[in-house]
């Protein structure tokens, strides 16, 4: 199978490609503009690399022929910057996805699995979030992903394409080179001897899914007949303070934690129901949070010199 992975030089993409190498024989082409990732992240992996923008139809037309399926990870995923400047988020996540879908139509590529989000689309609702809930995004980022899901649905119905939107929960794990999300950010701060900054009281919950488990879910979605929205997480909500306690124990370091006010647009309590994913694609995450954090910490420890931390 020949796969095009947009945004494949990022955190999720590099973990996915590494997992694909373990699980089967695939030809992989990565399209990435290196704005949020780096080809260095996949230098040890067997994947072709094209530097380019998903909004560039000429680039897409050059690399789309012969592709069997697209894994669409390229996106502006930053919640707070989307509030400060929503136009960028709209252009990359909505217009960029539209260009990818149009290129797929031009070259008869019938399958796309795209990265979406759970909590940001649903807003502040009583967890667990699930696919039957009515979306109510609390940030432009969430709105852009909901719009993306709308186009996937429309292209599936109108053009017979198989389009699945995988709603990722909070992903963590090795290869998080430039990742700004909480686990990677905290680990880098601990190595640098800096205090951790928490926005809120630390009681806010997230569904933390290990990158290897998430990658398995993506692969299962590619090879299944599933369409529409599918939640990928663990089904467990973990308070941020619990993450901090585990990192303190794993690192053996007594770091400081500074608490600041909650930030507008961020969901406070969320985790997802993964029963639909279990039923439709056979998704079954099995990496415990403590084990996943240890494996992530060890990866950073092994790559300290390379990462300048």
**Nearest of 238, 236, 179 to residue 213 by alpha carbon:** 236
Q: DSSP letters of 240-285?
A: HHHHHHHHHHHHT----EEEEPPPTT--SB--B--HHHHHHH----
Q: What is the 3-state secondary structure (H, E, C) of 172-240?
A: ECCCCCCCCCHHHHHHHHHHHCCCEEEECCCCCEECEEEHHHHHHHHHHHHHCCCCEEEEECCCCCEEH
Q: Which two tokens stand for residue 267?
A: 């969901």
Q: How many other CB atoms sit within 10 Å of the CB of residue 121? A: 26
Residue 141 among the catalytic residues: yes
Are the C-beta atoms of 210 and 292 separated by less than 8 Å? Answer: yes
User: What string of DSSP letters covers 2-54?
Assistant: EEEEETTTSHHHHHHHHHHHHH---EEEEEE-SSS--GGGGTTS--EEEE--T
Catalytic residue among 141, 151, 208, 283: 141
Give the active site residues. 141
């Amino acid at each position: 199978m020949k796969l095009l992975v947009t945004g494949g030089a990022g955190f999720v993409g590099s973990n996915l490609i590494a997992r694909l190498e373990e699980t089967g024989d695939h030809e992989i082409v990565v399209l990435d503009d290196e704005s949020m990732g780096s080809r260095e992240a996949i230098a040890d992996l067997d994947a072709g690399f094209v530097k380019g923008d998903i909004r560039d139809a000429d680039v897409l037309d050059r690399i789309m022929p012969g592709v069997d399926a697209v894994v669409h990870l390229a996106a502006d995923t930053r919640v707070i910057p989307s509030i400060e400047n929503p136009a960028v988020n709209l252009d990359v996540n909505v217009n960029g996805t539209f260009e990818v879908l149009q290129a797929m139509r031009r070259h008869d590529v019938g399958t796309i699995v795209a990265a979406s989000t759970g909590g940001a689309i649903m807003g502040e609702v009583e967890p667990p979030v699930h696919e039957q809930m009515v979306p109510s995004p609390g940030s432009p980022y969430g709105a852009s992903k909901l719009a993306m899901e709308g186009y996937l649905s429309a292209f599936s119905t109108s053009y017979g394409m198989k389009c699945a939107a995988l709603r990722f929960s909070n992903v963590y794990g090795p290869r998080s080179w430039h990742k700004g999300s909480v686990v990677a950010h905290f680990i880098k701060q601990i190595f640098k001897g800096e205090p951790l900054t928490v926005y809120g009281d630390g009681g806010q919950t997230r569904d933390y899914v290990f990158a290897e488990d998430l990658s398995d879910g993506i692969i299962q979605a590619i090879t299944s007949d599933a369409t529409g929205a599918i939640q990928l997480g663990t089904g467990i909500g973990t308070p941020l303070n619990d993450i901090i306690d585990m990192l303190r124990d794993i690192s053996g370091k007594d770091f400081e934690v500074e608490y600041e006010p909650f930030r507008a647009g961020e969901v406070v309590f969320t985790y997802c129901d993964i029963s639909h994913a279990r039923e439709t694609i056979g998704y079954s995450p099995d990496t415990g949070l403590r084990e996943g954090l240890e494996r992530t910490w060890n990866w950073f420890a092994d790559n300290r010199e390379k990462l300048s931390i």
